[in-house]
Amino acid sequence: MTARLNKAVRCTAAVLAAVALGAGATACGASDSSPSTSAPSSAPLGDTSSAPAGTSSSDASGGTSGSSGGTSASSGGTSSGNGASGSNASSTSSTCRTSDLRIAAKDQGKDAPGAAPGVGSVLITFTNTGGDCRVAGFPGVDLKTNYGTESVDRDKQEAGVPFTLRAGKTATANVVYPLNNTGGSGVRVSALVITPPNETHPVTAPVDFSLPVSDKDTGRLEVTPVFKPVSQDH
């Protein structure tokens, strides 16, 4: 069961990545000949001894997370210097700061484009309300649940491609998770604490979905990199 659900989550993340980039549908039936390299979640669901609310995933996707009171971007922010880099990003653009981004999250559940059976998705949007700025890599994401705070791992099957986010444009990322089909209330998720790549100031975006309690160790929680808007000029 573990292998099937992990494969389904990886497949869904790949399809969501293709949809975000405007590519065609991705076939999910082919077998994966390479072994999974996904690390275990840094804190199991239901473990209240995990990092307290306000602490982001320990990967290099962002800085310290914490509630900022709603979906509005918090003020200020300094770059942490982490994340991907490359020639696709403008050398004259500074890192996108939280204060210049309008960040929101929307649970799409099983209705996400290309979702695999048993897998749900939350769409995260980053709208640039300032000038042109650089995005590189993964956002930091924590789930606020009735069991405490759970950090979300990066999708090891994806690589963040640096790009310049133009003023007024919206980039996206996805959090994939195992659906709660048990009939019980499960682990209730009330918000995502989101830190943009290479930033230290988070935003809290309300959501409402649940994860299965009994299958908490068989499913994977993963976040994709931030993808460049399809409509943006290259």
For 173-230, write each residue's pLDDT tens digit. Answer: 999 999 988 878 889 999 999 999 999 999 999 999 999 886 544 567 899 999 999 8
* Calpha distance 111→147 (Å, rounded): 26
Which residue type occupies 222?
E
* Calpha distance 149→191 (Å, rounded): 10
Residue 2 pLDDT exceeds 60: no
Residue 19 pLDDT exceeds 70: no
Residue 12 in any domain: the answer is yes
pLDDT score for 42: 38
* Calpha distance 126→182 (Å, rounded): 33
Place 141 in a pLDDT band, splitting at 50, 70 and 90. very high
Residue 109 pLDDT exceeds 50: yes
| Contact present, 44 and 174 (Cβ < 8 Å) | no
Q: Which of 139, 156, 125, 152 is nearest to 14 (CA)?
A: 156
pLDDT score for 44: 39
Residue 53 pLDDT exceeds 80: no
DSSP 227: B
pLDDT score for 48: 36
Ramachandran angles phi, psi of 210, nearest 5°? -135, 155
Q: Which of 100, 64, 58, 91 is nearest to 80 (CA)?
A: 64
* Calpha distance 103→196 (Å, rounded): 9
Residue 166 in any domain: the answer is yes
Residue 160 in any domain: the answer is yes
Mean pLDDT of the chain: 71
| Contact present, 116 and 8 (Cβ < 8 Å) | yes
Place 5 in a pLDDT band, splitting at 50, 70 and 90. very low
Q: Give the domain extent around 112.
A: 2-21+51-223
| Tally of domains within the chain | 1
pLDDT score for 233: 57
Residue 234 in any domain: the answer is no
Residue 125 in any domain: the answer is yes
The partner residues of 128 in beta bridges, in order of sequence, read: 101
* Calpha distance 59→39 (Å, rounded): 11
Residue 39 in any domain: the answer is no
Residue 32 in any domain: the answer is no
Residue 202 in any domain: the answer is yes
Pairing of strands 133-135, 94-95: parallel
pLDDT score for 182: 80
Place 105 in a pLDDT band, splitting at 50, 70 and 90. very high
Residues in the chain: 234
Give CA torsion, residues 184, 190, 193, 196, to 10 deg.
Answer: 90
Share of the chain above pLDDT 70, in %: 57
Rg (alpha carbons) of the chain, rounded to whole number: 17
Please give the model's pTM, rounded to 2 decimal places.
0.62
